[in-house]
Amino acid sequence: MSTTLHSPYHLARSFASLDHLSGGRAGWNVVTSHDDHEAQNWGLDRLPDKKTRYDHADEVLEACSQLWETWDEDAVKVNRESGVFADPNAVHYRSYAGSSVWTRGGLTTPHSPQGRPVLMQAGASPRGLEFAARWAEVVFTIQSEPATMREFYGDLKERVRSVGRDPQHCLVFPSIEVLVGETEREAQEQAELLDSFRPDTGLDMVAIITGTDVSRLPLDTPFDQVPLGPDGPASQGFYDNLLGTSGSGRVRTLGEAANIMATNSQSPRLIGTADIIADQLQEQLESGCCDGFIITFALLPGDLIQFVERVVPELQKRGIYREEYAGSTFRENLQS
């Protein structure tokens, strides 16, 4: 949910409720929004610039952190005989005043199993990384090459350390798309089918990422010459991933970028049998440039079922995928 479009009281209360309802399995992908169309859904003409959005997001999270501390963990007594619902000494006013955020607590929702949701983040601009280093427990990233993955991982962990946090408490999960087949041929055919989709259906997504209208540009426009919005790319992470940062570039033209977006294949793809996919996931994990993965699928629910039925048992056989949960909350399981 977006810190730009929702108030901290609403966010804190929603995630506390979700954490209660899910028994401590709530996570929040903290986004600042990056598309004016989204702003217009909420009655605004346009989004504030990126720096303003991240400054505001810092304050929203400071306010939410206060609100989540309204109730001590043991405040609720629910004693029918004495008629006491909660110990008033264990419920506190928690207010917050920043320069763009103001809220008078406390929160009406009692302390939830995790206390606060697991905070996830996917910003990749320098300001986005600064924000992630301060708050994120999971960083979600798209990196198409091992070299950029390693660089991103080292940079982020160093940023986390420099703000006084334990780098192991900020896990980095690159997103990977998996196409698994019973044979390599079957997986390849699925990839070919996806790649045959018309590139112009992905132009809208490219417009969102670059922050400009690209509909009148020829599809063979070199991607590095596609103009950007006044604030640079609307999403640095997606843009860098398409352009590539190591010189070669993932795409050369606007048409290729649109094709990637049309097939929802922003993430690097692993194509093959369960064995081949497990080999590649294991290799990346053991190379020390990530802490796990966000697995994405082009076709749902089919590809997800294939992954669960074929790849997960193979990963379990190799001892790199859990067979049961170590804890009861999302945070406990992430850290185990």
Ligand X SMILES: Cc1cc2nc3c(=O)[nH]c(=O)nc-3n(C[C@H](O)[C@H](O)[C@H](O)COP(=O)(O)O)c2cc1C
CA 141 to CA 180: how far, in whole Å? 22
Q: How many residues bind ligand X (CB under 6 A)?
A: 18
Provide long-range contacts, Cβ within 8 A and 24+ apart, for 46-52.
47/4, 48/4, 49/231, 50/125, 50/127, 50/128, 50/231, 50/232, 51/127
Q: Which part of the chain contacts ligand X (CB under 6 A), choosing from 17-25, 64-72, 140-148, 158-166?
A: 140-148
CA 170 to CA 156: how far, in whole Å? 9
Smallest distance, ligand X to C-beta of residue 189, A:
27
Q: Quick one: DSSP state of residue 308?
A: I
Smallest distance, ligand X to C-beta of residue 111, A:
28
Cα-Cα-Cα-Cα dihedral sign, residues 180, 186, 187, 191 = negative
Residue number of the CB closest to ligand X reads: 128
**Which of residues 27, 106, 123, 202 is near ligand X by CB under 6 A?**
123
- Quick one: angle between helices 146-162 and 126-135, nearest 10? 60
Identity of the amino acid at 128? G
Smallest distance, ligand X to C-beta of residue 127, A:
6
91 vs 289, beta carbon nearer ligand X:
289
**Which of residues 5, 12, 26, 31 is near ligand X by CB under 6 A?**
31
Site string for ligand X, 242-281 (x = CB under 6 A): ----------------------------------------
28 vs 307, beta carbon nearer ligand X:
28
Q: Is 34 in the site for ligand X (CB under 6 A)?
A: yes
**Which of residues 235, 259, 273, 306 is near ligand X by CB under 6 A?**
235
Smallest distance, ligand X to C-beta of residue 238, A:
5
Q: Which of 17, 11, 19 is nearest to 331 (CA)?
A: 19
At 36, list the tokens.
């004016």
The residue with tokens 């991240």 is 54
The residue with tokens 């601009």 is 125
CA 51 to CA 3: how far, in whole Å? 13
CA 34 to CA 52: how far, in whole Å? 12
Site string for ligand X, 164-183 (x = CB under 6 A): -----------x--------
236 vs 253, beta carbon nearer ligand X:
236
Smallest distance, ligand X to C-beta of residue 175, A:
5
**Which of residues 7, 14, 17, 29 is near ligand X by CB under 6 A?**
29
The DSSP H or E segment spanning 176 is strand 171-180
Q: Decide: 280 and 314 in contact? Cβ < 8 Å.
A: no
CA 96 to CA 90: how far, in whole Å? 19
Q: Is 114 in the site for ligand X (CB under 6 A)?
A: no
Smallest distance, ligand X to C-beta of residue 101, A:
18
Residues that bind ligand X (CB under 6 A): 29, 31-34, 122-125, 128, 140-142, 175, 235-238
